[in-house]
């Protein structure tokens, strides 16, 4: 019998302590430590349970190992394949993480529909929804698959039994937080359970060579035990993000043992499920009106090696607080603070008596530093209450001395803005194209923020 003892585990980061602590020393969150009974699961019991790796592994010469490139297969969606690095790798373990209701089950079920039409045998373990619920969703998504088995089960050991009998090619666990192992006494969703279940599934995936997708929930404040503590165990972490109340969804890999993490996939959520967005250039500026308001700027950001035009908005208003507020959605907070500091010091804006709100329209997160110039101009125009012509786009990174630094893939960005009908683009001097002849597009190269500001405010006389 395994030895029982209790420990206190941070549900946010997995930190363990023998006694209760109000604040986690690892991640500094309050009240996240929860008591869990820890059964020191012995190696033999893991093997017994998994019936895997019972024999000792022998070393093999690297040259003797054959790896087949064709061991990849498509998910049925180009956008998804790209994020995976060219499709699913046979026998790999993939974590699909996202906020509740974002569309994780939909994405994976649609992919299962495609895979089963290609003759793959699939087991979809639904630990959260009943078989009926899944059927209703499948009908809405128009999935009529032959080889798709649904199992409504939450006990890991029972799932293993089924997997061993059925021997599927593709296994889905929806979701990791809802299943539990009998070996562990703490409740499902706790750090010990999630970690143990994931570990067992990893062994199963490698041993039986089953491609396994684990679905996991994350919340913005990260209070649920989850994906963070699983990242090192899985081969790839695919994050599904976007605004639940709007139709666009972005698929991004934050870890991938088989491909680049630079790629993103874009989807559109509708009544009949997720559709790929193949030409994403303008989706985020589609609703923009002709007469621009102060504080709105279009930037050409680069997401996953593809140019994406997004609108950045800023609102600068007189503060009623002792310390003015700075709120940022979609752009990293510290980056915005840095830009505000540069505006104050290099352009001479006095923003200390003003609240500043910055927002990326469309509910997406922009990591690209080329958005800096857009943020600066949005704040500046809102402060001065003047607007920039709506046919103007910008990109460029801002340095602390107020210089505009060059960005990657400038030509692609310029061409995208041209394609979408922009008439003027402000870019870093370092990115000045040598021989780009685009009729009707005025390319303004700037080396300092002050030049960018005066160029942006110059109205072209008709
Ligand atoms: N009839 C419908 N028409 C349009 N969109 C729908 C419809 N039904 C569901 N959706 C969309 O699907 C989303 C839910 O998808 P799904 O259940 O795949 O999400 P999930 O990430 O698996 O959620 P959960 O965290 O509950 O498991 C809803 O938020 C909504 O955007
Ligand atoms: Mg779901
Ligand atoms: Zn912690």
pLDDT of residue 331: 93
Task: Note the pLDDT tens digit of each residue in 18-76.
Answer: 888 888 888 888 888 888 776 555 444 545 555 454 567 788 888 887 766 658 899 99
**Residue 258: how many CB atoms within 10 A of its CB?**
16
In the block, residue with structure tokens 């050991």: 157
Residue ID of nearest Cα to ligand 1 atom 4: 271
Atom of ligand 1 nearest to the CA of 107: 18
Atom of ligand 1 nearest to the CA of 106: 18
Q: Is CATH 3.30.420.40 correct for 283-457? A: no
pLDDT on residue 265: 86
pTM of the model: 0.76
Q: Which atom of ligand 1 is nearest to the CA of 217?
A: 25
- Residue 358 CB–ligand 1 contact under 6 Å: no
Cβ atoms of 56 and 173 within 8 Å: the answer is: no
3 state SS of 234: coil
Ligand 1 neighbourhood includes 415 CB (under 6 angstroms): no
Looking at residue 414, its pLDDT comes to 92
Query: What is the rounded distance in angstroms from the CA atom of residue 343 to the CA atom of residue 321?
Result: 21
Amino acid 6: pLDDT: 81
- Taking alpha carbons only, the member of 413, 198, 425 closest to residue 305 is 413
Q: Are 306 and 280 in contact (CB under 8 A)?
A: yes
Ligand 3 geometric centre to CA of 366 (Å): 27
Closest atom, ligand 1, to C-alpha of 140:
1
Helix (H) or strand (E) holding 93: strand 93-98
- Is the C-beta atom of 25 inside 6 A of ligand 1? no
Q: Which helix (H) or strand (E) holds 240?
A: strand 236-242
Closest C-alpha residue for ligand 1 atom 12 = 103
Q: In this structure, which ligand is nearest to the CA of 191?
A: 3
Query: Which of 105, 214, 219, 227 is the pocket-test mutation for ligand 1 (most atoms within 8 Å of CB)?
Result: 105
* CB 271 less than 6 A from any atom of ligand 1: yes
Ligand 2 centroid to residue 130 C-alpha, Å:
11
Q: Which atom of ligand 1 is nearest to the CA of 240?
A: 21
Question: Do residues 235 and 258 lie in contact, with contact meaning Cβ atoms separated by under 8 Å?
Answer: yes
pLDDT value of position 226: 56
**How many Å lie between the centroid of ligand 3 and the Cα of residue 23?**
8
Cα of 122 vs centre of ligand 2, distance in Å, is 17
Helix ranges (DSSP H) in 52-155: 78-84, 104-117, 131-140
Cβ atoms within 10 Å, residue 8: 17
106 lines ligand 1 (CB under 6 A): yes
Cα separation, 85 vs 102, in Å, equals 22
CB atoms within 10 A of CB 447: 17
Q: Is residue 31 lining ligand 1, measured as CB closer than 6 Å?
A: no
Alpha carbon nearest to ligand 1 atom 6, residue: 271
- Say if ligand 1 is within 6 A of residue 370 CB: no
What is the residue with the minimal CA distance to atom 10 of ligand 1?
A: 271
The CA 159 to ligand 3 mean position distance, Å, reads 30
Determine the Cα–Cα distance for residues 150 and 143; give it in Å rounded to an integer: 13
- Nearest ligand to residue 108 Cα: 1
Answer CATH for 73-278 from 3.40.50.1100, 3.40.1190.20, 3.40.50.880, 3.40.50.300: 3.40.50.300
| Partners of 224 in beta bridges | none
Residue 150 phi, psi dihedral angles, 5° rounding:
-110, 135
Q: Which atom of ligand 1 is nearest to the CA of 102?
A: 21
Q: Name residues with Cβ closer than 5 Å to ligand 2, which is an ion.
A: 105
Q: Report CA(103)–ligand 1 centroid distance (Å).
A: 5
Of 96, 101, 215, 216, best ligand 1 pocket probe by most atoms within 8 Å of the beta carbon: 101
Query: Ligand 1: does its nearest atom lie under 6 Å from the Cβ of 269?
Result: yes
Output the pLDDT for position 223: 42
Residue nearest to atom 2 of ligand 1 (CA): 271
Please state, in angstroms and rounded to a whole number, the distance separating the CA atoms of residues 443 and 440: 10
**CB–CB of 98/108 below 8 Å?**
no
Residue 221 confidence (pLDDT): 55
Binding site membership of 354 for ligand 1 (Cβ less than 6 Å)? no
pLDDT for position 2: 52
| Tens of pLDDT, residue by residue, the chain (462 residues) | 555 678 888 877 778 888 888 888 888 888 888 887 765 554 445 455 554 545 677 888 888 877 666 588 999 999 899 899 889 999 999 999 888 888 999 999 999 999 999 999 999 999 999 999 999 999 999 998 888 999 999 999 999 999 999 999 999 999 898 999 998 888 887 888 888 899 999 999 988 999 999 999 876 554 444 556 788 889 999 988 877 667 788 888 888 888 887 788 889 888 889 998 877 767 777 677 777 789 999 999 987 778 888 999 999 999 999 999 999 998 999 999 999 999 999 999 999 999 999 999 877 788 899 999 999 999 999 999 999 988 899 999 999 999 999 999 899 899 888 888 899 999 999 999 888 788 889 999 999 999 999 999 887 544
How many Å apart are CA 458 and CA 452, to the nearest integer? 10
Residue 440's CB is within 10 A of a number of other CB atoms, namely 10
């Amino acid at each position: 019998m395994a030895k029982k003892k209790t420990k206190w585990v941070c549900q946010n980061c997995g930190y363990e302590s023998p006694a209760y602590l109000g604040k986690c020393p690892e991640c500094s969150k309050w009240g996240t430590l929860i008591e869990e009974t820890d059964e020191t699961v012995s190696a033999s019991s893991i093997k017994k349970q998994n019936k895997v790796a019972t024999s000792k592994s022998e070393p093999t010469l690297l040259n003797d190992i054959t790896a087949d490139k064709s061991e990849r297969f498509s998910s049925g969606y180009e956008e998804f394949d790209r994020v995976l690095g060219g499709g699913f790798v046979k026998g790999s373990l993939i974590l699909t993480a996202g906020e509740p209701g974002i569309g994780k089950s939909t994405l994976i079920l649609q992919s299962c529909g495609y895979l089963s039409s290609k003759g793959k045998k699939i087991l979809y373990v639904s630990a959260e929804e009943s078989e009926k619920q899944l059927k209703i969703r499948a009908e809405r998504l128009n999935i009529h698959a032959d080889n798709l088995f649904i199992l409504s089960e939450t006990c890991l050991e029972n799932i293993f039994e089924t997997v061993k009998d059925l021997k599927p090619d593709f296994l889905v666990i929806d979701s990791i937080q809802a299943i539990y192992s009998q070996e562990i006494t703490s409740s499902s969703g706790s750090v010990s359970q999630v970690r143990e279940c994931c570990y067992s599934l990893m062994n199963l995936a490698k041993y039986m060579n089953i491609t396994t997708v684990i679905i996991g929930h994350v919340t913005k404040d990260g209070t649920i035990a989850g994906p963070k503590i699983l990242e090192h165990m899985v081969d790839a972490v695919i994050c599904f993000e976007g605004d639940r109340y709007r139709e666009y969804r972005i698929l991004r890999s934050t870890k991938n043992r088989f491909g680049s993490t630079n790629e993103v996939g874009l989807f559109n959520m509708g009544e009949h499920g997720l559709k790929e967005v193949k030409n994403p250039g303008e989706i985020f500026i589609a609703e923009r009106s002709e007469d621009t308001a102060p504080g709105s700027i279009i930037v050409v950001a680069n997401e996953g090696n593809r140019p994406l035009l997004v609108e950045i908005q800023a609102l600068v208003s007189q503060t009623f607080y002792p310390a003015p507020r700075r709120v940022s959605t979609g752009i990293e907070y510290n980056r915005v603070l840095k830009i505000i500091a540069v505006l104050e010091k290099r352009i001479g804006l006095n923003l200390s008596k003003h609240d500043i709100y910055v927002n990326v329209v469309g509910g997406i997160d922009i990591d690209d530093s080329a958005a800096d110039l857009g943020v600066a101009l949005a704040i500046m125009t809102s402060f001065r209450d003047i607007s920039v012509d709506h046919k103007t786009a910008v990109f460029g990174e801002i340095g602390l001395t107020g210089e505009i630094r060059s960005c990657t893939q400038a030509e692609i960005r310029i061409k995208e803005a041209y394609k979408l009908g922009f008439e003027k683009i402000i870019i870093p001097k370092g990115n000045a194209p040598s021989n780009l002849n685009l009729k009707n597009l005025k390319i303004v190269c700037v080396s300092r923020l002050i030049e960018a500001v005066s160029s942006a405010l110059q109205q072209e006389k008709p």
